[in-house]
Amino acid sequence: MVMTIDAKGMYYRELNKMIRTAIEEGETEFVLDNINGQRYIGDAIKAKAKITIHGTPGNDMAVFMNGPTIEVFANGQDGIANTMNSGEIIIHGMVGDVIGYGMRGGKLMIKGDVGYRVGIHMKEYKTQVPVIVAGGCAGDFYGEYMAGGVMILLGLGAGEDKPIAGDYLGTGMHGGVIFLRGKVEEYQLGAEVAVMELDEKDLKLVTTYVTEWCEHFGHDVDEIMSRPFIKLKAVSSRPYGNLYAY
Amino acid sequence: MATELSPVSQIPPEFHVKVDHDQCRKCKRCVLNCSFGCMQFKDKVTPDHSKCVACHRCTTFCPENAISITDHPMVYKENANWTERIRQNTLKQAETGGILLTGMGNPKPYPILWDHLLIDACQVTNPSIDPLREPMELRTFLGSKPDKLEFERDEHNNVRLKTQLAPHIQLDIPVIFAAMSYGAVSHNVHKSLAIAANKMGTLMNTGEGGLHEDLYPYSGRIMVQVASGRFGVHSDYLKAGAAVEIKIGQGAKPGIGGHLPGEKVGLEISKTRMIPVGTDALSPAPHHDIYSIEDLSQLIFAIKEATDYMKPVSVKIAAVHNVAAIASGIVRAGADIVTIDGFRGGTGATPAIIRDNVGIPIELALAAVDQRLRDEGIRNQASLVCAGSIREAADVAKAIALGADACVIGTAALIALGCRVCQKCYTGNCAWGIATQRPELTRRLDPDVGSQRLCNLLTAWKHELQEVLGSLGVNSIESLRGSRERLRGIGLDKETLEILGVKPAGVGM
Amino acid sequence: MRCNTRIPSGCAISGMMCESGDRVDGSAIIKSIALMHDRSNGLGGGFAAYGIYPRRADQYAFHMMFDDFAAKENFDEYVKDHFIVERDEVIPTSPFGNITSPPVLWRYFLNVDEKKLEFVEDREYVVNKVMEINSNVPGAFVSSSGKNMGAFKGVGYPEDIGHFYKLEEYKGYIWTSHGRFPTNTPGWWGGAHPFGLLDWSIVHNGEISSYGINKRYLEMFGYKLELRTDTEVVAYLFDLLVRRQNLPMELAVKALSAPFWDNIDRMEPHTKELMTAIRMVYGGALLNGPYSIILGHSRGMMGLNDRIKLRPMTCGRKDDMLYMASEESAIREIEPDLDTVWSPKAGEAVVGTLNGEVE
């Protein structure tokens, strides 16, 4: 059974309560129509469930989410996948700022551009490895404080010469890995990261996620993979060792 | 004719030097290092306590840590009024008939207002900014700024700057080195400062003793000074500097001149100051071409003419009672930078009576001047540089918040080079090779090491200032500059708070 | 009643403009700001509208707030001495449940006697009088003072304030709005946003961490900061830079939301010279801290973010309409079918310009 909710004019508390209650009662699939601006959809839901959203969901979508799959057929706003633990999010559009803040697991597939401070302080622990794949370009502070996980930025539609991410790229990064399909200038990089070439293992990893991304958004994998990627990694897991006097 | 007094001084020693003879292995390093004649060797190391100045040279270089220095255990009959220091000084004057001479800044326990100012921080309503990961700008420009800019369009309809800006000095950190003359300090000190200023993107200042030819390659980061003695001042010197400073006064000795004794004027100093070897270098109390404010203007523009209007001209004054009005006059006279030196500022030699009793604290002077220039609508016309005991990065942050464009460090820089603030600079015996011209002492300071220590100090301060800005939620120094709203006073009276333009702690916005 | 302490506040903002000059009524903007209800807390809301007084388009429309009628009588004496009062009337309101204890709300359509303009240009004269009224005329506050525009604001949720002022009955080519989340309860209507001076209006989300120096900088040029709000600072900075000093808007924006030195150092020489000069000279005008603002003026609307984009802003276009808001959904609420939608970069101004005649 699919539970369809017409969310037109509905306040977020009412909406989220309906979803939570239904999940407790065993519902696993939701279609939310006429969503516009309702916050916290999927907040802390710990269950296997699929939520399909038509319309622009509000801030903090999938905050603390722990399991469900959310697919959005519109743009997303700020704060998606904030401190998310597991689950999957597919967004057929672009998203705002501070995406995947402190994300510690699960997957976030975005068709278009991402805003500022994406993947900020993403972290991994044992088998929990968060992943963000975005098809477009990113604003400044992409991967700020990144401590773990994988971020892939495809830069589709960026043009040949334009950097695909903003400045302060990977600033404060001390773990995890970023793969960029396209160009960034040396000055854009945070002091803590270095550009590297992809080895075979990396390439396999990227191909896996790009294939998945293409399945969602209907691009050709080979075409995307035909352009070279670069890899960004932290130079040190303790970049500030010399900063303090004792 | 004066009666000959007994050669034995009645003044008890200040310090007591204890040598642990069980640990001492008689290597005599202490004897070699002591430049004040205190450590002597007679079968074993035997200190003459009366000569110790607590410069720590012997303790630092003793490989066995066998030496310790304490206050001399001499007890004086307790008297809160006739302090030990006053009794010692009285004896000294009774024995010599002289003005008490001293070095470094005012040591008396006047209130230090920096320590009564507290800095704000962001919580919730606005975010703090992470200075390690995000940009945090300290770049500062010293020089005169117009109230507004004008623009025009070129043939391609691009906007271009029409206003011709006055010359400026770009600083990467708003902390510059104080004017300390070659003569007062050694050549190696000058060289250390010059190298560090270049590496760190800041300025050193020649002081009034000219610029040694070896340092001309660094002159893009050197402010050259013109003082009343005009030592070493010539057209090439003026043109070499990044800026020119007219020294009117100094916080440690406002209103009085200076005197570099002839015995310090060796060949190199003689060459640099352009005076014969062995002659006393006397700086008159006033500039004898400046008896009034319009004369200052005349000298400012003489220097601007000489440098083809390519260099900012600074005027340095001591913080005295009427400092706000004087500073306003200086700005109106055409100065691009006003440097104010507070009454705790340092010196190589000054009469103690002047150092310890004349002038006002830099905190109040700075606040009064900044406000006065704003009230008169001329604050943009000159940069405001504050000096006179900036001890740590916190003082810099507070000074900037009160309105300073940049701060000056003299003593702090010398401490980085090894100075222990023993206040014996005027003796020429500095064991650390700083305030001396004795070749066997000056070579103790290696300019490569010295400059690295100065760079380290400034780098540390830079990080600390960035931490403060970040916690204040701003990412550029100009958003702190003059932002007294971000300061609060603690333990200050109402009038002082009013002069500082700061609210008491506990009062919100 | 006036609140003289500075109150930090978070907020929602929304703005819409028809660049061809067509006018729409206020119901859409109310709907848009209402969607972001949770970004404000009921302690302040307001709107600015342009093109609402077409028949008196060349008169200064003063929207006034008075503590009581005695204050109004006092002001009436003042205004007669300094202006030619073409008309004055109550600002129509409809009682609305959540809106309590409004001040006396009155509007004056004013001209300035030529004789008073011997030494001063008329806009400068008006600015001086606004400062004078807000500082010296007890119980009177000028809420807006531009031509063919007005600010409608008060204590309450913005949608309630909008209905209270019956904004559905006005038509404008620019509407901006603000929902406020102050951190204490001023209870004073004048403190709500937008802030207006002449035809400038500002709605603003976030807090200006550099307020202390921005205020002292403006004071040096004779501005009196009565409200002690960040918004007031922003409005005066635009007035100073654009009106008094004639900076082109695109450069004024660079003074307020300056590029970083690292970026400036990489610019081509002319631009580098320009930006360096702007930062050197206008350091006191640099707005630091998190903000997004929407500036309204009679010829356009502009959105601007802080230098590291600590506050959100989304923009959209549909035909002649330009929209900007704290959240995309606030735009979608009134125009689901946008031609384009984008998030401007940090410090990058989004400019709407009136290119037609106002209908």
Q: What is the 3-state secondary structure (H, E, C) of B199-233?
A: HHCCCEECHHHCCCHHHHHHHHHEEEEECCCCCCC
Task: Tell whether A187 lies on the interface with C, counting CB pairs under 8 A.
Answer: yes
Using the predicted structure, report yes or no on whether residue C3 has a pLDDT greater than 60.
no
Sheet of C9-18: strands edge to edge? C149-154, C45-50, C174-182, C9-18, C321-325, C314-318, C340-342
A240 with B132: Cβ contact below 8 A: yes
Which of C222, C227, C174, C225 is closest to C200 using CA atoms?
C174
pLDDT digits (tens, 9 = 90+) for B309-333: 999 999 999 999 999 999 999 999 9
Identify the three-state secondary structure at position C1: coil
pLDDT at C39: 86
Q: Write the residue in A37, A115, A166 that is nearest to C327 by C-beta.
A: A37
> How far apart, in whole angstroms, are the C-alpha atoms of residue C206 and residue C194?
13
> How far apart, in whole angstroms, are the C-alpha atoms of residue C159 and residue C35?
9
> Chain A residue with minimal CA distance to B462?
A243
pLDDT at C190: 86
Q: Write the residue in A36, A139, A141 that is nearest to C332 by C-beta.
A: A36
Distances (CA, A) of B60 to A74, B29, B33, B68, B69: 71, 10, 10, 10, 11
A37 with C314: Cβ contact below 8 A: no
pLDDT at A1: 79
- Walk me through the domains of chain B, giving residue ranges and CATH numbers: 15-98 (3.30.70.20), 140-504 (3.20.20.70)
User: Residue C1: pLDDT band by 50, 70, 90 thresholds?
Assistant: very low
Single pTM value for the model: 0.92
The predicted model gives A11-18 an average pLDDT of 96
pLDDT at C303: 96
The predicted model gives C270-281 an average pLDDT of 96
User: Residue C300: pLDDT band by 50, 70, 90 thresholds?
Assistant: very high
pLDDT at C10: 61
A171 with B133: Cβ contact below 8 A: yes
Which amino acid is residue C159, in one-letter code? E
Judge contact between B451 and B76, C-beta under 8 A.
no
Q: How far is C284 from chain B (nearest CA, A)?
A: 7
> How far apart, in whole angstroms, are the C-alpha atoms of residue B460 and residue B480?
19
Residues of A in contact with B465 (CB under 8 A): none
Residues of C in contact with A141 (CB under 8 A): 308
Distances (CA, A) of C337 to B146, C328, C350: 49, 12, 20
Low-confidence winner among A202-211, B59-68, B235-244, C112-121 (lowest mean pLDDT): C112-121
**Residues of chain B in Cβ contact (below 8 Å) with chain C:** 122, 125-127, 129, 134-135, 137, 139, 141, 145-151, 158-161, 163, 165, 168, 374, 377, 379-380, 472-476, 478-486, 508-509
> How far apart, in whole angstroms, are the C-alpha atoms of residue C265 and residue B172?
13
Residues of C in contact with B474 (CB under 8 A): 209-210, 288-289
Q: Is A208 left (phi over 0), alpha (psi -120 to 50) or beta?
A: alpha
Which of B304, B454, B490, B463 is closest to B396 using CA atoms?
B463
pLDDT digits (tens, 9 = 90+) for B406-418: 999 999 999 999 9
**Residues of chain C in Cβ contact (below 8 Å) with chain A:** 35-36, 38, 260, 262-263, 266, 308-309, 312, 314, 327-330, 332-333, 336, 341, 343, 345-346
**Residues of chain B in Cβ contact (below 8 Å) with chain A:** 130, 132-135, 460, 463
> How far apart, in whole angstroms, are the C-alpha atoms of residue C26 and residue C175?
7
Q: Is the dihedral of CA C50, C55, C61, C66 positive or negative?
A: negative
Task: Tell whether A172 lies on the interface with C, counting CB pairs under 8 A.
Answer: no
Instruction: Count other C-beta atoms under 10 Å from residue B69's C-beta.
Output: 19
B135 with A168: Cβ contact below 8 A: yes
Strands C200-206 and C291-297: antiparallel
CB pairs under 8 A between B and C: 123
> Chain C residue with minimal CA distance to A114?
C343
pLDDT at C8: 52
Which of B396, B354, B346 is closest to B180 using CA atoms?
B346
Against chain A, the chains showing at least 3 CB pairs within 8 Å are: B, C
pLDDT digits (tens, 9 = 90+) for B18-41: 999 999 999 999 999 999 999 999
Against chain B, the chains showing at least 3 CB pairs within 8 Å are: A, C
Q: How far is A237 from chain B (nearest CA, A)?
A: 14
Provide the token pair at B323: 């400092």
Using the predicted structure, report yes or no on whether residue B341 has a pLDDT greater than 80.
yes
Identify the three-state secondary structure at position B288: coil
The predicted model gives C211-238 an average pLDDT of 90
The predicted model gives A135-152 an average pLDDT of 95
Provide the token pair at A32: 């939310």
A141 with B133: Cβ contact below 8 A: yes
Active site residue C11: yes
Using the predicted structure, report yes or no on whether residue A237 has a pLDDT greater than 90.
no
Q: How far is C180 from chain A (nearest CA, A)?
A: 18
Q: What is the mean pLDDT of chain B?
A: 95
C283 with B481: Cβ contact below 8 A: yes
CB pairs under 8 A between A and B: 18
Task: Tell whether C265 lies on the interface with B, counting CB pairs under 8 A.
Answer: no
Judge contact between A177 and A204, C-beta under 8 A.
no
Using the predicted structure, report yes or no on whether residue B270 has a pLDDT greater than 90.
yes
pLDDT digits (tens, 9 = 90+) for B38-77: 999 999 999 999 999 999 999 999 999 999 999 999 889 9
**Backbone φ and ψ of B243, nearest 5°:** -160, 160
Q: How far is B87 from chain C (nearest CA, A)?
A: 49
The predicted model gives A78-86 an average pLDDT of 96
Against chain C, the chains showing at least 3 CB pairs within 8 Å are: A, B
pLDDT digits (tens, 9 = 90+) for B118-131: 999 998 878 899 88
Q: Write the residue in B135, B150, B484 that is nearest to C260 by C-beta.
A: B135
The predicted model gives C226-230 an average pLDDT of 77
* Residue that the structure tokens 């409809």 belong to: C94
Which of B319, B324, B248 is closest to B106 using CA atoms?
B319
CA angle A13–A17–A20, rounded 5-degree value: 140
Q: What are the residues whose beta carbons fall under 8 Å from the beta carbon of A215, sequence distance 6 or more?
A: none
Task: Tell whether C209 lies on the interface with B, counting CB pairs under 8 A.
Answer: yes
Classify burial at C122, counting beta carbons within 10 Å of its beta carbon; exposed 0-12, middle 13-18, buried 19 or more. Answer: middle
> Chain C residue with minimal CA distance to A93?
C341
pLDDT digits (tens, 9 = 90+) for B465-488: 999 999 999 999 999 999 999 999
User: Residue C187: pLDDT band by 50, 70, 90 thresholds?
Assistant: low
Instruction: Count other C-beta atoms under 10 Å from residue B8's C-beta.
Output: 5
B165 with C277: Cβ contact below 8 A: yes
pLDDT at B349: 92
C286 with B476: Cβ contact below 8 A: yes
Residue from A32, A60, A75 whose CB has the most chain C CBs within 10 Å, to mutate: A75
- Walk me through the domains of chain C, giving residue ranges and CATH numbers: 11-256+289-353 (3.60.20.10)
Which of B133, B21, B136 is closest to B477 using CA atoms?
B136
pLDDT at C183: 62
Which of C108, C107, C109, C127 is closest to C117 using CA atoms?
C127
Task: Tell whether C290 lies on the interface with B, counting CB pairs under 8 A.
Answer: yes
**Backbone φ and ψ of B486, nearest 5°:** -90, 5
DSSP structure class, residue B486: G
Which amino acid is residue C35, in one-letter code? L
Judge contact between B219 and B146, C-beta under 8 A.
no
Judge contact between B355 and B252, C-beta under 8 A.
yes
* Residue that the structure tokens 């070896």 belong to: B214
> Chain C residue with minimal CA distance to B146?
C281
> How far apart, in whole angstroms, are the C-alpha atoms of residue A15 and residue A35?
10
C281 with B481: Cβ contact below 8 A: no
pLDDT digits (tens, 9 = 90+) for B392-450: 999 999 999 999 999 999 999 999 999 999 999 999 999 999 999 999 999 999 999 99
The predicted model gives C288-304 an average pLDDT of 94
pLDDT digits (tens, 9 = 90+) for C252-269: 999 999 999 999 999 999
- E-strand stretches of B175-311: 175-177, 204-205, 222-226, 243-247, 258-260, 281-283
Using the predicted structure, report yes or no on whether residue A242 has a pLDDT greater than 80.
no
Instruction: Count other C-beta atoms under 10 Å from residue B123's C-beta.
Output: 11
pLDDT digits (tens, 9 = 90+) for B210-220: 999 999 999 99
Q: Is the dihedral of CA B30, B36, B38, B41 positive or negative?
A: positive
pLDDT at A239: 72
pLDDT at C7: 53
* Residue that the structure tokens 């800044």 belong to: B105
A168 with B134: Cβ contact below 8 A: yes
pLDDT at C142: 95
Task: Tell whether C342 lies on the interface with B, counting CB pairs under 8 A.
Answer: no
Judge contact between C88 and C107, C-beta under 8 A.
yes
For chain C, the residue count is 359
Provide the token pair at A131: 């992943």
Using the predicted structure, report yes or no on whether residue A58 has a pLDDT greater than 70.
yes
